[in-house]
């Protein structure tokens, strides 16, 4: 069965610093991978997705993610974090029949 692990429950970075959120997946075939962001009191919004082709994918709000098959990873990055990026971030893998399996999430705090 597919699974997603986000090793970091909580990350704190200073505004303007770079960010990397880790995601590891387990899936038997070519994975379809997603990163979502959830602002407080809101639903989830898609940041980016990967299903084939270039291993570096660009998303909204200046985020990017790199797919590494050898490491079963799909880490999310941003070169310079803004205070408005404080939120919870979820990695997900497509699980067939339109379903997705979500990780437990990483909460990002941004220090001024």
Contacts to other proteins by CB under 8 A = 9, 32, 34, 36, 41-46, 49, 51, 90, 94-100, 102-105
Q: Where are the beta strands (DSSP E) in the chain?
A: 3-5, 10-14, 19-21, 24-26, 33-38, 44-50, 56-58, 64-68, 73-78, 87-96, 99-102, 106-111
Looking at the Cβ atoms of 43 and 112, the one nearer to other proteins is 43
Tell the smallest beta-carbon distance from residue 66 to other proteins (Å): 17
Residue 68 C-beta: closest distance to other proteins, Å:
18
Smallest separation, CB 63 to other proteins (Å): 14
| Distance separating alpha carbons of residues 98 and 112, to the nearest angstrom | 40
Q: Which is nearer to other proteins, 8 or 15 (CB)?
A: 8
Cβ proximity to other proteins, 10 vs 68, nearer residue = 10
Contacts of 106 (CB under 8 A, 6+ apart): 6, 8, 9, 10, 11, 21, 22, 88, 89, 90
Supply the minimum distance, in Å, between the C-beta of residue 16 and other proteins.
Answer: 29
């Amino acid at each position: 069965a597919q699974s997603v692990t986000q090793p970091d429950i909580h990350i704190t970075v200073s505004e303007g610093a770079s960010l990397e959120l880790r995601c590891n997946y387990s899936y038997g075939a070519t994975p379809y991978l997603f990163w979502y962001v959830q602002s407080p009191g809101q639903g989830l919004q898609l940041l980016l997705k990967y299903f084939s082709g270039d291993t570096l994918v660009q998303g909204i709000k200046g985020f990017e993610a790199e797919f590494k098959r050898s490491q079963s990873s799909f880490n999310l990055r941003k070169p310079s974090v803004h205070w408005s990026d404080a939120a919870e971030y979820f990695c997900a893998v497509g699980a067939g029949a339109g379903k997705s399996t979500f990780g437990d999430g990483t909460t990002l705090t941004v220090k001024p």
